[in-house]
Amino acid sequence: MANLGFIGLGTMGGQMVNRLLSKGHTVTGYNRTRSKAQWLIDKGMRWADSPRAVAAAADVIFAMVTNSAALTAIMEGPDGILAGMKPGKIFSDISTVSPTVSRAFAAKVREKGADMLDSPVSGSVITLQEGRLSVMVGGRQETFEKVKPILQDIGPKVTYVGDNGLALVLKIAVNLNLATQMMAFSEGVLLAEKSGIARQTAVEVFTHSAVASPMIQYRGPFVLQQPEEAWFDVNMMQKDMLLAMELGRQLDVPLPTTAVSNEFLTAARGMGMAKLDFACVFDVLARMSGISTKAAGK
């Protein structure tokens, strides 16, 4: 049992804390909106009034925030994580952010005598709840070994990737596949539907076919009905696609399918779907095909 801290208690972060509590860990948490964390407080999570207070209270601190700007906001300033870090503490950042930004913060954490890992995850709310989440970790291997048992309580598959930032590179590489797979799936379903096959039938066949990756199996049905709360909305997915394309530019790796898929995310935002799950790229393509969809507002 460990003395943990967690900053960012949204859909995924909150469920991670729930798992950590169920494993018997002590968790001190912080979220910008306290009301969203009340269900975790009711389950025994301790509340802190700032990221600094979380860092001061815990031995291992986790964070899951939306982007590099959000990470900067919780790291810096008098109430930030850095202000609460002391020698021996470990910060394991689960957020998907720029590898460059993450490496810069790792250096600042080490100036405090502490250490930092990047530990992004792959999976959805469902895979998290079922205990099937995959975790990638970058940083010093000796620090990874200390945190590995705790990460295994979040998701059973924990893989050490290498130096700081490399787990983020791998996570970005994984996520670009989510968008491109969703585009290909949407094209196939719409081709079937416009030929006269019921959309539900096409989805049923695709999600039980040779192309049915785990992502297609759980997200494919979203073309029939969007979830009440987006698992991974358009803005979040586009953030990762832009990170991927920036890495591609830096490393001279062309990413043509990533670039095309990103344009459909921009179109989704233009159609007012920014807060929907990114599976709504189906609705963008459907509107272009002359097919009525609820999410596209037709």
In the listed set 162, 194, 215, which residue is the last one of a domain according to the structure?
Answer: 162
Q: Do 158 and 173 sit in the same domain of this protein?
A: no
Q: Which domain holds residue 219?
A: 169-289
Among 162, 184, 202, residue at a domain's last position: 162
9 and 150 both lie in a single domain: yes
Question: In angstroms, what CA-CA distances link 23 with 38, 43, 44, 53, 143?
Answer: 19, 12, 12, 23, 21
Residue with tokens 């491109």: 180
What does the CA dihedral 278, 119, 128, 224 come to, rounded to 10 degrees?
A: 10
Q: Is residue 72 part of a domain?
A: yes
93 lies in the same domain as 184: no
Residues 89 and 184 grouped into a single domain:
no
Burial 245-268 (b: 16+ CB within 10 A, else e): bebbeeeeeebeebeebbebbebb
Q: What is the number of other CB atoms lying within 10 angstroms of the CB of residue 294?
A: 11
181 touches 213 (CB < 8 A): yes
pTM of the model: 0.88
Do 181 and 100 lie in one domain? The reply is: no
> Tell me, what's the pLDDT at 296?
41
Q: Pick from 162, 183, 203: which residue ends a domain?
A: 162
Decide if 15 is inside a domain.
yes
Tens place of pLDDT for every residue, the chain, 298 residues?
899 999 999 888 999 999 999 999 999 999 989 999 999 999 999 999 999 999 999 999 999 999 999 999 999 999 999 999 999 999 999 999 999 999 999 999 999 999 999 999 987 777 787 777 899 999 999 999 999 999 999 988 999 999 999 999 999 999 999 999 999 999 999 999 999 999 999 999 999 999 999 889 989 999 999 988 888 899 999 999 999 999 999 999 999 999 999 999 999 999 999 999 999 999 999 999 998 776 443 3
Q: 145 and 205 in one domain? A: no
The pLDDT score that the predictor gives to residue 294 is 61
Residue 268 inside a domain? The answer is yes
- Classified as helix, coil or strand, 254 is coil
CA–CA dist 110, 118 (Å, integer): 14
- What region does 24 belong to: left with phi over 0, alpha with psi -120 to 50, or beta? left
- CATH, residue 118: 3.40.50.720
**Same domain, yes or no: 155 and 184:** no
Evaluate whether residue 297 is within a structural domain: no
Segment (H or E) for 60: strand 60-63
